[in-house]
Amino acid sequence: MTDADGPVSRAVADAHRREWAGVLAATVRVTRDLDLAEECVQEAYAQALTAWRDGVPARPGAWLTTAARRRALDAHRRAAVAQRALPLLVVDEVAPEPWGTPPDDLLALLFTCCHPALTAEARVALTLRLLGGLTTPEIARAFLVTEPTMAARLTRAKKKIAAAGVPFRVPGPDELPRRLAGVLTVVALVLTTGHTAPTGAALVRDDLLDRAHDLARLLRSRFPDDADVAGLLALVLLTDARRASRTDPAGGLVLLADQDRASWDADMITEGRVLVRTALTARPVRRYAVLAAIAAVHADAATFADTDWPEIVGLYDVLAARWPSPVVTLNRAVAVGFADGPDAGLAALDALRDEPRLAAYGYLAAARGELLRRAGRDAEARTALEEAALLTANDVERELLADRLAALDG
């Protein structure tokens, strides 16, 4: 008997979505081995499909953790682990819970996944796999690599964690600021990757956006006084509030100018605004607070025409002064194009003409094409938009560019 859409399957799927990371983190403490922990947790979910037919437990996470840990202890008993080639994960001993503070396994797992001794690609992949519960093919698709490549990347990272002794631990106060910044970078990358999927038929990757949401909330609950954390959660909320309006019923891309602002998620925007206000009071000014503030200016505008572009240019000036990057220059030029007209925007873009890091960045060509079109320089606009269409691997973006090109011809 299967109940693919029945209440038990739904409860298990729901628990997968909500509890995966916590169950895995608690199991890692027992297995001291990431692969074995994953295996045990997967088996626990499979077991739930049958066991929960008699009733879904009141605390599914606790049920799953117990089941996964029991399997982990069995595996240890079978002594397979004793003859393993790889050393065990470094896990601090903790006092039994009635006396000591229960360890924050979830946060420890996040810091392990985002350890600076791993490559940036491995950090985000491991985070999506171990905390997000995404499958290897899902992660591979998000980052434009083949499944075997992604599988090898994950395996290599897990081996390094074990062999090099990357600890399963929340860093101490000395290291925490630096390490937390690394974790925020990973979450921000999950957000941007989900917001506009680099590849594929859909504009948005809902699974990635949901994970960015969860991770930002987790960090906010653990670091309530950190302005960058507040800024990042605000950025997630204010960006994600627009999710429903960014595509039309056929999956086509709807630009910010054309989005139905009434469909933006008002609760997310309200919460995001409050967080931005808090985050912006920190000194020195924090990067994620400024990024979130830009998103908040958009959220504050009742219509696209009401957008306070000079304010947005000012915020990009802050970013450009403290955290200069070609992408910041590009986004600032787009804002200048709306604040002071297309010619001013094109002048601001000129700084990027010979920027090698943007040579294959489709948004530069797209932004130039859009400014040229508004400046009435149709022939040049066509060349730029054609270049942008060649450079994107996202089908929805390519269709929008094709529409723009067709409009130029009309």
Partner 1 sequence: MGQYLILIYTDDASHAAMGEQEVGALMAAHQAFGAEHGEALRGGGWLHPAATATSVRRPDGRETNGFAAGEDALVTDGPYGETKEALGGYYLVEAPDLDAALAIARDVPEPFGGVEVRPLRPTVQQYS
Footprint on this chain of partner 1 (rule: CB under 8 A) = 87, 90, 115, 117, 163-167, 169, 171, 175
* Min dist. Cβ of residue 118 to partner 1 (A): 11
Residue type, 200: G
Q: Burial of 199 by CB count in 10 Å (0-12 exposed, 13-18 middle, 19+ buried)?
A: middle
* Min dist. Cβ of residue 157 to partner 1 (A): 13
* Min dist. Cβ of residue 19 to partner 1 (A): 28
Q: Which two structure tokens, joined as six digits, stand for 62? A: 């606790």
Cβ proximity to partner 1: between 7 and 165 the closer is 165
199 φ/ψ angles, rounded to the nearest 5 degrees: -150, 160
* Min dist. Cβ of residue 280 to partner 1 (A): 33
* Min dist. Cβ of residue 73 to partner 1 (A): 24
Cβ proximity to partner 1: between 159 and 374 the closer is 159
Tell me how far apart the alpha carbons of residues 36 and 161 are, in angstroms, rounded to a whole number. 14
Place of tokens 């690609």: 121
Pairing type for strands 199-200 and 393-394 reads parallel
Find, among 220, 317, 312, the residue nearest to 271 by Cα: 220
Cβ proximity to partner 1: between 12 and 118 the closer is 118
Residues 6+ apart with CB under 8 A from 270: none
Helix, strand or coil, per DSSP, at residue 380: helix
Helix, strand or coil, per DSSP, at residue 168: strand
Cβ proximity to partner 1: between 175 and 258 the closer is 175
Cβ proximity to partner 1: between 76 and 160 the closer is 160
8 A C-beta contact, residue 74 and residue 151: no
Cβ proximity to partner 1: between 95 and 163 the closer is 163
* Min dist. Cβ of residue 215 to partner 1 (A): 22
Residue type, 59: R
